[in-house]
Structure 1
Amino acid sequence: MSLQVAPINGTHIHYSQTGPKDGPVMVFANSLGTDLRIWDDVVGVLSQRFNIVTYDKRGHGLSGIGDAPYDISLHANDLIGLLDHLGLNEVIICGLSVGGLIAQKVIEQQPQRVRGLILCDTAPKLGDYDGWNARIEAIKADGIEVLGDAIMERWLSQGFRKDRALETAMYRDMLVRTTAEGYIGTCIALRDGDLRDAARKIAVPTLCICGSDDLATPPDVVREMASMIPNAKFELIDGVGHLPCIETPELLTRLIDRFTKENNLV
């Protein structure tokens, strides 16, 4: 796996590209407070056939924070800029949580560029204005650390947290080490982002996936998104929280593999 950096929209974006360069392109976009490593177990299998791109959105991982005010369009333009940098014109995007909104914004802006969507534990509109403001103010006052345990309960199922405590602690560290500027900026983007009208216009094969124990985007929220998107399919993963790529990467990989084959995306 090659770790690289690209100058994008006034900052630097850290990314990885792996798999056959002549294979169909699949891009993975991360959730709030995570970096590209959350996809490792999925990429390890799919990179046998796909040209895989993972990246850290601005303010996360090893990417720069940048100076521009954050919104979903900025995050989408960062991904579009990365695709331009890599010369990739037809892609499948798999987006998790805010990554799913980024994927929806990319297809709204450049529909010709996206061949298919996999939307994991996300929606066209996430949370409400007051809820995001409360989170922003808490972090401004006491840092991300103050919300670490509560966010783990939203990210990971009770069973995972009990049986895999060391891994839970590791992902908590990933969260709390995210820059406050990048985390708050992305909270603002989520607070103000609303792609419900755009979702109804999506015209590519779309798979919507949710963990049954997801407290951040509960199954009914993801199921509602699937009903908005023409001909979208919905899959529920039992006993899993907000991050199926971490809890059940084998099952998520099988769902993605079946979806791409059924829709002639490979």
Structure 2
Amino acid sequence: MTDTKPWHSHTDGSGPCSIIWLHGWGGDHKALGRIATLFNASCKNTLYDLPGFGKTPLLPEAHVSTRDYANALALQLRDGDKHIIIGHSYGARVAVQVAAAYPEHVAGIILISGAGLKRRRSLFFKIKASMLKLMGKAARLVDKLFWTTLYDAYSNRFGSKDYKNSGALRPVLVSAVTEDLSMIAKNIRCPALLVYGSDDVDTPPEIGRRYESLIPIARYEELKGYNHHDILTRGAYQCESLIRTFLKDLSKL
């Protein structure tokens, strides 16, 4: 297990079900607040700042994987209850890990624009990515040999916005983008709802459909006209409807 320090969270609502909300990369607990408030009359909602985001400090230096985050979350859930875990993007990675490793804490998971599977890429993209990777390695080697700063220039030119802004979270980001949760997803035994926007270019619908094929009890839903971010705001009521149906089905099990 990892650090036992409590995560910063916001709790609201009451009811027979408990929902844990996990935000995406670069956000905090407020990112999922628009949807969560719609369940305050029927559920207890706990919205966390993941470690390194918002007011929750980073995990210890060696703990950078989503499994480490899942281990730390399990320590927050030592109340003996089973929860619904809802994760957006990066938060969905953690939800998948928790559901597979700690089934005693999880009644069901909901992935909204969930990440965690390798995207299918064209041959051209793969060749370009390989060349950029080699350039990065070469820049590191030159820096080491001649005390230059070529890798900094390389990162500024080719690094993603998230990578450039990641700061102390950079090892966590690198760990996430190189992982593949396919085998982990196969071990999930609780029901799963997979909600994706048709216009999402960050976690496109094909990832959701593949999760559906991997998780034994899963249902995929696609919301037309929504992207990776506005699915949480403009699409809040559509997400609410799907989640309520999922919760109703769970109550019958």
Q: Which of 101, 111, 116 is residue 109 of structure 1 equivalent to?
A: 101
In structure 1, the residue matched to 2:84 is 92
- What's the secondary structure of 1:197's corresponding residue? helix
Question: In the superposition, relative to structure 1, how do residues 68 and 10 fare at CA in structure 2: closer, same or farther (>3 Å)?
Answer: farther
**2:51 corresponds to 1:64:** no
Query: Does the 8 Å CA contact 1:15/1:56 hold for their aligned counterparts?
Result: yes
In structure 1, the residue matched to 2:36 is 43
CA distance in 2, matches of 1:82, 1:139: 40
Pairing 1:5-84 to 2, within 5 Å after superposition: 9=3, 13-20=7-14, 23-69=16-62, 70-84=64-78
- What's the secondary structure of 1:263's corresponding residue? helix
CA distance in 2, matches of 1:202, 1:62: 30
Pairing 1:205-244 to 2, within 5 Å after superposition: 205-243=191-229, 244=231
Please list every run of 5 or more consecutive structure 2 residues that lacks an aligned counterpart in the other structure: 137-150
- What's the secondary structure of 1:89's corresponding residue? coil
**2:174 corresponds to 1:188:** yes
One-letter identity of the residue aligned with 2:42: R
In structure 1, the residue matched to 2:233 is 246
CA distance in 2, matches of 1:140, 1:54: 37
Question: In the superposition, relative to structure 1, how do residues 140 and 103 fare at CA in structure 2: closer, same or farther (>3 Å)?
Answer: farther
Q: TM-score, normalised by structure 1?
A: 0.74
List per-residue Cα deviations over 1:28-71 (Å, max 9, x = no partner). Answer: 11111111111111111111111111111111112112432311
Q: Which has the larger radius of gyration?
A: 2
Query: Does the 8 Å CA contact 1:139/1:180 hold for their aligned counterparts?
Result: no
CA distance in 2, matches of 1:64, 1:139: 29
Query: Does the 8 Å CA contact 1:123/1:225 hold for their aligned counterparts?
Result: no
Query: Does the 8 Å CA contact 2:198/2:225 hold for their aligned counterparts?
Result: yes
Q: Which moved more, 1:189-198 or 1:251-260?
A: 189-198
CA RMSD of aligned residues (A): 3.1
Q: Which moved more, 1:117-126 or 1:253-262?
A: 117-126
The count of aligned residue pairs is 225
CA distance in 1, matches of 2:16, 2:59: 32
Question: In the superposition, relative to structure 1, how do residues 265 and 42 fare at CA in structure 2: closer, same or farther (>3 Å)?
Answer: farther
Please list every run of 5 or more consecutive structure 1 residues that lacks an aligned counterpart in the other structure: 1-7, 152-174
Give the superposition deviation at 1:195. Answer: 2.0
List per-residue Cα deviations over 1:53-98 (Å, max 9, x = no partner). Answer: 11111111121124323111111122112222xx252101011112
CA distance in 2, matches of 1:224, 1:147: 25
